[in-house]
Structure 1
Amino acid sequence: MVETTDEVKQQVREVEERMVETTDEVKQQVKEVEERMVETTDEVKQQVKEVEERMVETTDEVKQQVKEVEERMVETTGEVKQQVKEVEERMVETTDEVKQQVKEVEERMVETTDEVKQQVKQV
């Protein structure tokens, strides 16, 4: 029985040693997993940072494009205003020409009326 007890004690000691070794291995594995989690977290943080930077760049690009479109709209508005001004000037010129033509026609009508009166008087 003493031998058996000694054997059992030896086996218990071996099991305890294996448990300690296993515990150390598990601790080491947990440590490695935690380190990988930290690395992964850092990678994710870096990726998030890069995505945010690209979003800012994209936002800046969109703002620049909007600014350019607004500038072109202002230019186009300016061009349209200039064209409207030119059309209005031509309308005024045309109106003045028409008034002049009407005046000339009226004068010819008066002359013709005077001629007709003169002819009637002669008859």
Structure 2
Amino acid sequence: RLTISGGEPFDQPEAFLELLKRVRPYFEDILVYSGYKMEFLKERFPEHLSFIDALVDGEFIEGLESNFLYKGSDNQRLFVLNENLKEFYIEWARKKKDKLLQLVEKDNIIYIIGIPYQEDIKKFQHEIQSLYELRV
């Protein structure tokens, strides 16, 4: 499985299409997050969509929290483009966030793996900043 998220991959359509073509043979499931609505993508990028199995559309809106695992904000929608994966994605789309995150530190940079609640990420950033200020 491969997940491609933003920035916005469709803002570089030629390079993004080339990437999709190159990785398609290696992945049975390609999920893409796009800040654009599906209706716009269908009109402008039908070839791209032929290489994508599932797509989450809609821009991330801070303050519009979602409890669902796959959504950054509640306005986003999930589209399953590969019928063979529909059952998997229907089950996955029902899952709620469990607040489990993995923190990885490398070269003095902390990476968060997982999808935190918006409010939690603000608290986390504040705590990290406080720890950093203590070290300086």
What is the TM-score normalised by the length of structure 1?
0.18
**Bigger fraction of residues in strand:** 2
**Bigger fraction of residues in helix:** 1
The structure, 1 or 2, with the larger RCO (C-alpha pairs under 8 Å, 6+ apart) is 2
Highest Rg: 1 or 2?
A: 1
What is the TM-score normalised by the length of structure 2?
0.17
